[in-house]
């Protein structure tokens, strides 16, 4: 009797779960989702091109060096590059001595050989870019409970890549005047508000971004090559630099890819001609009707 009651109880429970699942599924399939301001006014990345775009594109080392300056002077205050070592900067056209000098401008944790205590020391080329915060708790406390993401792979991690980063950096807007395709945000959604401590940016998925506008004025950094450091120029340069940090071997990959494709094409043609030569003397069998 106990076993029968247990089986019946299990069947009732299973039936209840199936009914609940069916009702929820039907409700989700038949109920139209309410369109939100985030969905309606979210903007796609701008159509901006870079020298490294396309199968024949290459890194513009001058642009990458300018992008490094923007990262160092602006972005590094909040964001890390934990997968990039200072020695990798040699790929940007810097000499060994210049790489050592650039690394020495940074402070990284070290060990005092006399006391064994943790100290800060000048970075060496073999060190990786340090985090601006000792841990995530400190990072969240300094950024309205939002932990700034590491930027090493950012252009690979976000849909749109470098154009997305460029759009985000240049896309801060005033929600009171923002319009998309001729439709004003606050006219369509009068209750829309930007929470305290956040900033309106239509290129961010939920429109509200914890990061304050990092690039705010022309001349915020100084380029050694004399290029005018406008907001658009700085945004494009640092976007290209972050494309390089995400895929530093892109040039090598493209240079290797074309010979490989050429070899595959040649091998395909050779295999086809060989097949024609081998089977040339073989006559197809006649079909019997």
Is 13 a residue whose pLDDT tops 80? Answer: no
Q: What is the pTM of this model?
A: 0.82
Cβ atoms within 10 Å of 32's Cβ, excluding its own: 5
78 marked as binding residue: yes
Give the pairing type, strands 118-122 and 107-111: antiparallel
For 126, the 3-state DSSP assignment is coil
234 marked as binding residue: no
211 marked as binding residue: yes
Q: What is the pLDDT of residue 244?
A: 98
Question: Can you tell me which residue has the tokens 């602006």?
Answer: 74
Superfamily of domain 38-84+129-248: Cytochrome c-like domain (1.10.760.10)
CA dihedral 202, 47, 233, 174 (to 10 degrees): -20
Residue boundaries of the structural domains of the chain? 38-84+129-248
Is 33 a residue whose pLDDT tops 60? Answer: no
Is 32 a residue whose pLDDT tops 70? Answer: no
75 marked as binding residue: yes
- When the pLDDT of each residue in the chain is averaged and rounded to a whole number, the result is 90
């Amino acid at each position: 009797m106990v076993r029968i009651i247990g089986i019946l109880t299990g069947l009732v429970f299973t039936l209840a779960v199936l009914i609940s699942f069916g009702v929820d599924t039907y409700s989700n399939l038949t109920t139209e989702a309410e369109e939100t301001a985030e969905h309606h006014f979210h903007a796609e990345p701008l159509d901006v091109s870079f020298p490294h775009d396309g199968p024949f594109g290459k890194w513009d080392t001058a642009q990458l060096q300018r992008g490094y300056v923007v990262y160092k002077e602006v972005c590094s205050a909040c964001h890390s590059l934990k997968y990039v070592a200072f020695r990798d900067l040699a790929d940007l056209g810097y000499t060994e001595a210049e790489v050592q000098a650039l690394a020495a401008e940074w402070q990284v944790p070290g060990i005092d050989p006399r006391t064994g205590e943790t100290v800060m020391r000048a970075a060496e080329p073999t060190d990786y870019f340090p985090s601006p915060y000792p841990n995530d708790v400190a990072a969240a406390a300094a950024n309205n409970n939002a932990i700034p993401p590491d930027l090493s792979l950012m252009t690979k991690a976000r849909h749109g890549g470098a154009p997305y980063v460029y759009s985000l950096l240049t896309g801060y807007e005033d929600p009171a005047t923002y319009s998309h395709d001729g439709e004003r945000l606050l006219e369509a959604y009068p209750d829309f508000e930007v929470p305290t401590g956040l900033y309106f940016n239509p290129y961010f998925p939920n429109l509200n971004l914890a990061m304050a506008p990092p690039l705010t004025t022309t001349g915020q950094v100084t380029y050694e090559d004399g290029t005018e450091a406008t907001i658009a120029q700085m945004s494009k340069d640092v976007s290209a630099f972050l494309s390089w940090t995400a895929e530093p071997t892109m040039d090598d990959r493209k240079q290797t890819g074309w010979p490989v494709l050429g070899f595959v094409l040649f091998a395909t043609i050779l295999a086809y001609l060989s097949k024609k030569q081998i089977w040339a003397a073989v006559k197809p069998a006649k079909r019997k009707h």
